[in-house]
Amino acid sequence: MARAAKPQPITIGPTWEKSRTAARAILGAAPEMLGGYAVPPPNRTLGWQILGWTREYLRQPDGPDAGNEWVYTNEQTRFLLWWYAIDRAGRWLYRSGMLRRVKGWGKDPVGATLCAVEFVGPCRFDHWEDELPVAIAHPASWILTAAVAKDQTRNTMTLLPGLFTDKAIAEYGIDIGKEICYAHSGRCRLEAVTSSPRALEGPRSSFTLKNETQHWLANNDGHEMAKVIARNATKSRDGSSRVLAISNAHEPGEDSDAEQDYEAWQAIEQGKSRAKGFLYDSVEAPPTIQLAPALKEDMTPAERDAAVKTAEKSLRAGLELARGDSVWLDIDRHVEEIYDPRNSPSTSRRFYLNQIVAAEDAWIAPFEYDRLEQKEDVAEQEEITVGFDGSKTNDHTALIGCRLSDAYTFTIDVWDPEEHGGEIPRELVDGVVHSALARYDVRAFFADLAEWESYVDSWALEFGKSLEVKATAKHAVAWDMRGHQKEATIEIERLHDEIVEQAFRHDGDARTAQHFHNARRWPNTWGVTVRKEHRESKRKIDAVPATMLAHLARRMVLAQPKRKRRKTGNANFF
């Protein structure tokens, strides 16, 4: 019997890249390796010099090793090397960043060391020497550690007295206060700031650490603070001012600054944004991790015991993956916290597994969809069905395929009007539809009618005769969801159950995945369907109804008498 595959963490960022080819593409040079992971070569980062400086001038600020030489873990080292990566002109590779980790990983101590480096350490490129970069201190550094509550800034500020060695304090003339520190006779400063966007407007900080940005919301001025900080960094004289956020996993739907960072990273990854220079770094437990055993009423005591042991083994594996090499995190204590009934499963997943979990009214949990990804090629002239949900200007337009043999679901394309001047490019969509129906053997094509009536009519005229099943008795392609609310609700519920019961597979397209993550529950007379979080929301869901239509079309094809007579041997056929 083959062993089950060992669970792997979900990672984001170059610090987790193991491919030399990928790192070469990023930096234009072959990388060196640290612990099997790619890091920038010495001539493309200031990080190696900074690592030497921190060992000499910083010490462990607290805990059992307090007073000892400061040493980063390998994981923290890789992040520092990438954060201080430069190009051939000595300019930063990353102008801003997000470091997202589990509670207790060490975000605050690492953030404090970066503040210390930016305060008095060698943090700016000066010149090349023997083809290696030489860094110097900022001549008039102004460091901000920012949060929406004073207690959060204390997480960083209280570490500073124990962080600097006596040698550093004497050599740089450091004067440490509770809310502000000075060096070099006041020429350099490091201070804590909280929710006061107006007061922040103007200071040209050389580095800003944004603390616990999952709590930065519109109603506590977090959004305005983030905007002001970004503007201040942009107007720095040499363009070298940067902003780094540290955070736990955000709660979807709160629209926190951390959530906006995550969505910005997704937009960049999906090619929806021309922005670059954003370092998003995260490691989280895989979506298959169990928090509790799956118990059934008809289980024997032995089966229940086995289920409990399996779930705890899964949980411990997830905690170890999410903590990375921060081995000081006590797995036993974390298990006890997660089992505590006062902690909700969503809170446990966010803080201890670093997972972005569903909002309270989410249609499905993100991990429930993500774990069903399976990369496969769909052959040309393969029998498939197609679902379409379109818009003109406000929502997205999605074209989804479903393989007839096994219901494997794949994204043909998704269009965002913002990427096309504010309006969906209808002729382009029409071209893709024609291409898809030429490439595959399309047995049924169901399309929502709203805002696309003329195109849907033309598709019916062109392709109607080749389709095995018509959408309705009156139209070969049109399946108007406004006129089929009851049927649409039933089919959405069927799709939901297939995903939760893991009787569903998809290609992992990031655009479609985001639509499934965005979908919210919407109870109606006939059950529970889906909708956006609100009418004007930018978090679109159009790939969900398109997927539903593709699956409905497949089911109707397979329900044909001639199909029923075939012996397929595939339980998923019906």
> Domain residue spans in the chain?
10-284, 301-357, 383-573
What distance in Å separates the CA atoms of residue 542 and residue 445, rounded to the nearest whole number? 16
| Pick from 228, 208, 178: nearest CA to 114 | 208
Residue 500 or 562, more confident:
500
Lowest-pLDDT range of 378-392, 393-407, 536-550, 552-566:
552-566
Write down the pLDDT at residue 1.
41
What would the pLDDT profile of 67-83 be if each residue is shown by its tens digit?
899 999 999 999 999 99
Write down the pLDDT at residue 291.
85
Write down the pLDDT at residue 565.
47
Write down the pLDDT at residue 566.
47
Segment 143-164 mean pLDDT: 87
> Which residues, including other chains, have CB under 8 Å from residue 295's CB and lie 6 or more apart?
304, 307
Is 383-573 the same fold as 10-284? Answer: no
In the three-class reduction of DSSP (H, G, I as helix; E, B as strand; rest coil), residue 46 is classed as: coil
| Pick from 250, 183, 177: nearest CA to 215 | 250
Other residues' Cβ atoms within 10 Å of the Cβ of residue 329: 18
What would the pLDDT profile of 166-182 be if each residue is shown by its tens digit?
999 999 999 998 889 99
The percent of residues in the chain predicted with pLDDT above 70, rounded, is: 93
| Pick from 22, 117, 10, 134: nearest CA to 72 | 117
Write down the pLDDT at residue 193.
86
What distance in Å separates the CA atoms of residue 531 and residue 225, rounded to the nearest whole number? 31
Write down the pLDDT at residue 365.
84
Torsion sign (Cα): 421, 424, 427, 432: positive
Domain 383-573: which CATH number of 1.25.60.10, 1.10.10.10, 3.30.420.240, 3.30.930.10: 3.30.420.240
What would the pLDDT profile of 321-349 be if each residue is shown by its tens digit?
999 999 999 999 999 999 988 888 888 99
What distance in Å separates the CA atoms of residue 418 and residue 81, rounded to the nearest whole number? 35
The percent of residues in the chain predicted with pLDDT above 90, rounded, is: 66
H/E stretch holding 459 reads helix 453-463
Q: Which two tokens stand for residue 408?
A: 């494997």
Give the pLDDT band of residue 4 (cuts 50, 70, 90): low
Write down the pLDDT at residue 564.
57
Write down the pLDDT at residue 62.
82
Look at residue 19 and tell me whether its pLDDT is greater than 70.
Answer: no
Look at residue 541 and tell me whether its pLDDT is greater than 50.
Answer: yes
Other residues' Cβ atoms within 10 Å of the Cβ of residue 475: 17
Determine what percent of the chain falls in helix, strand and coil, rounding each to the nearest 5: 40, 20, 40
Q: What is the CATH topology of the domain spanning 10-284?
A: Rossmann fold (3.40.50)
Segment 100-124 mean pLDDT: 96
pLDDT, mean over the chain: 89
What would the pLDDT profile of 211-243 be if each residue is shown by its tens digit?
999 999 999 999 999 999 998 888 877 778 999
Write down the pLDDT at residue 495.
96
Look at residue 24 and tell me whether its pLDDT is greater than 70.
Answer: no
Angle 518-524-529 from CA coordinates, rounded to 5°? 30
Angle 319-325-328 from CA coordinates, rounded to 5°? 75
